[in-house]
Structure 1
Amino acid sequence: MQDIANIIDGCKQWKRGSQEELYRQFYGYAMAICLRYANHKEEAVEMLNDGFLKIFTHISTYDTSRPFKSWLARIMANTAIDHLRAQKRLLFAEDINKVYDLGSGNEDALDKISVDELLKLVQELPPAYKTVFNLYVMEGFQHQQIADMLGISEGTSKSNLFKAKRILKEKIEKAAAYNTNEKKDLPPQVAKVKNE
């Protein structure tokens, strides 16, 4: 495995081997980002390839004093947003000035669903909610940064995050209840295996 600095230098010189190595090393990480925004894998692959094209085209602007992974993540997220915008799928909820309490709900519901189930539930969110949720929760951007990226107000960002969390909370609780009931219906020896 080549050193990332050497790979980046090769990419700056448009060396095909360096581009392939960069793609290979960061494919999984970049795909995970794209899948969070896409409705299906084919759409995520399209976002991913567009993102890598932007990376190869603009790699000379990468500031080597900063982590490369963060730079790549931002490009992938922006590419996904551009893709959704082009398809006119980003319709944001109204602006709010305060975020309402979601309530406590079922505290251990998250323990009853798998990571894959949780990611699937996030993917089922409406595009605008999913985008703000991913930018805030998964990518770590603040509401003002999200507002600037998406061309919306900070209050609209907060509103969309609130609504995304409310929908997810309901879906998580339903999935957890389903998983609990499914295990109750299984013969004891099968339920034991599923719990392990």
Structure 2
Amino acid sequence: MKLFIKQDAKLINGCKANDRQAQERLYKLFYPEMLRVCCRYLKSNELAQEAINSGFLKVFQNMNAFDVQKGELGAWIRTIMVRSCIDLGRKEAKFAEVNSQEEIEDIFIEPAVLDKLFAEDLLKAIRQLPVATQLVFNLSVIDGFSHKEIGEQVNISESTSRWHLSEAKKQLRVMLAPVIKSIDKPTENQKGR
């Protein structure tokens, strides 16, 4: 464990010194996980790639602000990536203010249903949501932000955040219904048993 901490410190110090080799190592080390984060937030691979490039640029520009005593490097980079996705998503999305509580419905999706889905099915369905709705869904469900925090981050009201989450759940239920039905259907081999 101490060896990893020393390597991590060496990598961080190299990046702080603008060492291109250290920056390349850091990029390669964190790229796969950060790409997954960006793909979850954005509709296309191109937008995800744009967010990751923007995010890593911010990481390298602000490396001197990173304090090893205050947190873990991966978490710090992930926060920057999520914020890059929010910034890009905000440009892509048009948030309509929703003030009526009547339009907000809480839709429950059985955990057993989610267990049957493959990650690709979920990601594909989430990416089909409107940009604003997808962004709120990810911030709320995946990252656990409150509606107040989401509102502050994307400059919308809490009720608008709630509406987008409700809308995401409605749309996902409709989109995933055929996938769930196909999972529940017995195959020819299973019918004969």
TM range (shorter): 0.7 to 0.9
Q: What is the alpha-carbon root mean square deviation over aligned residues?
A: 2.3
Structure 2 residue aligned with 1:73: 78
- Residues 74 and 90 from structure 1, CA distance in 2 versus in 1: closer, same or farther, beyond 3 angstroms? farther
Q: Shift in Å at residue 85 of structure 1?
A: 2.7
Whether the 8 Å contact between 2:90 and 2:132 is mirrored in structure 1 is: no
* Mapped pair 1:154 → 2:158: yes
Structure 1 residue aligned with 2:179: 175
* Mapped pair 1:13 → 2:17: yes
CA distance in 1, matches of 2:172, 2:24: 37
- 1:66-145 equivalent positions in 2, closer than 5 A: 66-87=71-92, 89-92=93-96, 94-97=98-101, 99-103=104-108, 108-145=112-149
Q: Which segments of 5 or more consecutive residues in structure 2 lack a partner in the other structure?
A: none
CA distance in 2, matches of 1:36, 1:100: 24
So what's the TM-score if we normalise by structure 1?
A: 0.83
Q: Which segments of 5 or more consecutive residues in structure 1 lack a partner in the other structure?
A: none
Whether the 8 Å contact between 1:122 and 1:168 is mirrored in structure 2 is: yes
CA distance in 2, matches of 1:42, 1:101: 32
Whether the 8 Å contact between 2:97 and 2:157 is mirrored in structure 1 is: no
CA distance in 2, matches of 1:63, 1:144: 27
Q: Shift in Å at residue 107 of structure 1?
A: 5.5
Q: Shift in Å at residue 97 of structure 1?
A: 4.5
Q: Deviations over 1:121-167 (max 9, x none)?
A: 11111101110111112222222111111011112111111111221
Whether the 8 Å contact between 1:54 and 1:75 is mirrored in structure 2 is: yes
Q: Shift in Å at residue 73 of structure 1?
A: 1.6
Q: Deviations over 1:73-116 (max 9, x none)?
A: 221111112222334x232451355853325x666322332111
CA distance in 1, matches of 2:41, 2:96: 15
Structure 1 segments, 4+ long, off by >4 Å, are 96-99
Structure 2 residue aligned with 1:36: 40
